[in-house]
């Protein structure tokens, strides 16, 4: 499961920051991978590749 967040900072030099949090649960173990940046489109392929490779041993 994943949740996406977008933060808008107002004012001069406004920055839009995006964050995605991936959740993995197995039994009593839970893990959260949180990633984010201001150049989302540029880094999204790497973010998704990293999340796809994560495994909970078990």
Summarised one tens digit per residue, pLDDT across range 15-48 is: 788 999 998 888 888 888 999 888 888 999 999 9
Q: Supply the pLDDT for residue 49.
A: 92
Task: Determine the 3-state secondary structure of 46 from DSSP.
Answer: helix
Q: What is the pTM of this model?
A: 0.70
Residue of 5, 2, 18 lying closest to 50 (CA atoms): 2
- Cα-flanking dihedrals φ and ψ of residue 42, to 5°? -70, -35
**5-17 tens-digit pLDDT:** 988 777 676 778 8
């Amino acid at each position: 499961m994943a949740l996406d967040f977008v933060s808008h900072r107002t004012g001069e030099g406004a920055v839009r920051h995006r964050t995605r949090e991936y959740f993995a649960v197995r039994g009593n173990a839970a893990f959260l991978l949180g990633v984010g940046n201001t150049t989302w489109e540029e880094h999204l392929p790497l973010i998704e590749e990293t999340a796809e490779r994560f495994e909970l041993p078990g």
